[in-house]
Every structure is written in structure tokens, then in C-alpha cells.
Structure 1
Amino acid sequence: MKIMSNEQLVVSYRDALKSGEKEWIKLLKEEIKRRGLKPLKN
């Protein structure tokens, strides 16, 4: 995967959710968990 900052990773994840790209969502979600981030606002 291309190296991304935490902010870029979260933004990419949100964009993937909007577009419905299942493989990309899965890949980004795994990376977000690995970094211990919360991708969605509460």
C-alpha cells in the first residue's frame, strides 16, 4: 500500500465507503485497525 498519513488514510476510507469499493474498504479498514484509529466521527 502507498504510504499515507493517518488523516489521508481516514479520508480515503470515507471516500471508499461512499463509492462502495468493497476490496478497498477492507484493505483500508485493516490498516486503520492496525494503527488504532477511529475512522468515523461519533
Structure 2
Amino acid sequence: MKIMSNEQLVVSYRDALKSGSEKEWIRILKTEIQKRGLKPFKD
């Protein structure tokens, strides 16, 4: 899934979590974020 840039990936993940309706999409995005070693939220 190298289609999205890191920034697009994180933004898509945050939006998906806010809507909460696409559980499968959230899981896919989360997996990709972990593969790239990103942190979607600031600590």
C-alpha cells in the first residue's frame, strides 16, 4: 500500500477513527502505519 504518503496515511487513519464505521479500513491503515514505524498521535 505504498500509494499514500506517510502524512496521507496518518490523516486517513485519524478520519477513519473519528467516523468509526469502517472497522476493516481502520485495521488495514493501522497495520500499514505500524509497518512504516509511524506514530499517528503525539504522545
TM value normalised by structure 1: 0.90
Runs ≥4 residues deviating over 4 A = none
Give, in whole Å, the separation in 1 of the partners of 2:17 and 2:30.
Answer: 10
Aligned-residue RMSD, C-alpha = 1.3
Deviation at 1:2, TM superposition (A): 6.6
Deviation at 1:41, TM superposition (A): 1.8
Gaps of 5+ in 1: none
TM value normalised by structure 2: 0.88
Q: What percentage of aligned pairs have identical amino acids?
A: 83
Give, in whole Å, the separation in 1 of the partners of 2:25 and 2:42.
Answer: 20
Count of aligned pairs between the two proteins = 42
Gaps of 5+ in 2: none
